[in-house]
Amino acid sequence: MTSIGSTTRKTAALAILLLSASAANAHTGHGTSSLAEGLSHPFGLDHMLAMVAVGIWSVSALPQGKAWWGPLTFMAALVVSAALGASGVTLPYVEHMVSISVVVFGAMLVLSRVRLPLAMGLGVVALAASMHGLAHGAETPASGFAGYAAGFLLTTAALHVGGVLAGVGLRRYVSAQAVTLTQTLGGLCSGAGLYLLHQLS
């Protein structure tokens, strides 16, 4: 059986490869007016890490049977804020706040054994999702919003499902190391968020 140390090293190596292969700013150099472009957009490192982290956190920290509340909260806040962004609503340093959200989600994974009040945990998810939504929406021309939004929502849902399945897999197949692995993933996620934030400065 693979040792916890070996598993941690492999996880760290994968994170380094992702960082090396991804552009620091996930919101440049792509189109924003079609379903296909919307489908590909959330694979930017900041969005991808945030969505997977929400899925894992929801399994680890929310009451049993409520694991889907985190992803559903994220998607609801995402679509509302994306519509606001597309209509011209914006905030200064929204890209910085997107990167900070990755740091926060990583910290939530590290502290997943600490049971936050349900409303507080979901409130953090909704607030962070709003930053991602504003970033999505601000890039989208009004004529292409519907297709682009449908695309990024589908990919967002898929990434959340991946995170939830990862969380369930940790709990079911490596239950003795699940907490340690979740905390390790959280530390790597926060580190990636700090890296992305540094690239914006």
Q: What is the pTM of this model?
A: 0.81
* Residue at 4 is within a domain: no
Question: What is the model's pLDDT at position 48?
Answer: 92
Q: 59 or 149: which carries more pLDDT confidence?
A: 59
* Residue at 154 is within a domain: yes
Distance in angstroms (rounded) separating the CA atoms of residues 60 and 68: 12
* Residue at 15 is within a domain: no
* Residue at 37 is within a domain: yes
Give the count of domains, the chain. 1
Q: Which residues contact 36 (CB under 8 A, 6 or more apart)?
A: 151
Range of the domain at 62: 30-200
Give the residue ranges of DSSP H helices in 2-65.
Answer: 4-21, 35-40, 45-61
Tokens read off for 195: 């890296």
Largest CA distance in the chain: 54
Tokens read off for 139: 């890039």
Task: Examine the pLDDT at 16 and tell me if it is beyond 50.
Answer: no
Helices (H) and strands (E) in the chain, counts: 8, 0
Question: 175: pLDDT confidence band, cut at 50, 70 and 90?
Answer: confident
* Residue at 133 is within a domain: yes
Question: What is the model's pLDDT at position 130?
Answer: 96
Q: Which residues contact 32 (CB under 8 A, 6 or more apart)?
A: 38, 41, 139, 140, 141, 144, 148
* Residue at 11 is within a domain: no
Question: What is the model's pLDDT at position 4?
Answer: 47
Least confident range from 33-37, 112-116, 144-148, 178-182: namely 33-37
Q: Specify whether the CB–CB gap between 152 and 136 falls below 8 A.
A: yes
* Residue at 20 is within a domain: no
* Residue at 9 is within a domain: no
